[in-house]
Amino acid sequence: MSLLPGLDAVLAYLAQADPEFRIDPGVRDTASAFAAPSSFSAPAAFAAYGQLTPEAKDALTASLADLAARMTARRLDCLRRTTVDAYERALRSLRLTVTLDSAIRAMASGDQQSMLFNRDAAIADTVEWILRREDRIVVAAHNGHVQRWPCASGLACGDTDGHAPRRSPR
């Protein structure tokens, strides 16, 4: 659970595509403050995120939104310096970084359902994104992510087909 891999990939791309752009160093510093090296470190990362001030959390989210707006608005300029594939990969990385930020914010506020919806939609979107580029893909997942029976939350787990998860029949 870390924004850093996606953020670093986008910044590396922008160094080539938009060399005059400089992100506020505080954005990466804030993301570093709660970065987890593995999913086993997630509890410590959530605790560290909880220690951030509301202003720091809001500034991080706003900076990611500004970065997404900049990349989208300057698409043609970026494409003059890079390839379509490089741009699309960087934009995909940024979208996943924004989604992860949103999921972390949801979890921190106790909204597990929004976190699950964000995560599942991002996984489904990523699979579709890859399938538009590749003939086949292998997807490995824990049973809890692909089951079609009720989860503890009362939602039908595994409903990541681009639609809102359905309530399980009682």
Residue range of the domain that includes 68: 4-108
Within a domain: 73: yes
State how far the Cα of 9 lies from the Cα of 15, in Å rounded to an integer: 10
Within a domain: 64: yes
Concatenating the DSSP letter of every residue in 53-112 gives -HHHHHHHHHHHHHHHHHHHHTHHHHHHHS-HHHHHHHHHHHHHHHHHHHHHHHHHTT-H
Question: For 78-93, b where at least 16 C-beta lie within 10 A, e where not — what string?
Answer: beeebeeeebebbbbb
Q: With CA atoms as reference, report the closest residue to 101 among 56, 139, 71, 140.
A: 56
pTM exceeds cut of 0.95: no
Within a domain: 10: yes
Within a domain: 125: no
Within a domain: 16: yes
Q: How do the pLDDT tens digits run along the chain, 170 residues long?
A: 789 999 999 999 999 999 999 988 999 999 988 888 877 788 888 888 889 999 999 999 999 999 999 999 999 999 999 999 999 999 999 999 999 999 889 888 888 888 888 888 888 899 899 999 999 989 888 777 676 666 655 555 554 444 444 444 44
Within a domain: 74: yes
Within a domain: 97: yes
The residues facing 155 across adjacent strands are: 167
State how far the Cα of 62 lies from the Cα of 135, in Å rounded to an integer: 37
Q: Which residues contact 9 (CB under 8 A, 6 or more apart)?
A: 89, 90, 93
The residues facing 150 across adjacent strands are: 156
State how far the Cα of 160 lies from the Cα of 142, in Å rounded to an integer: 14
Domain count, the chain: 1
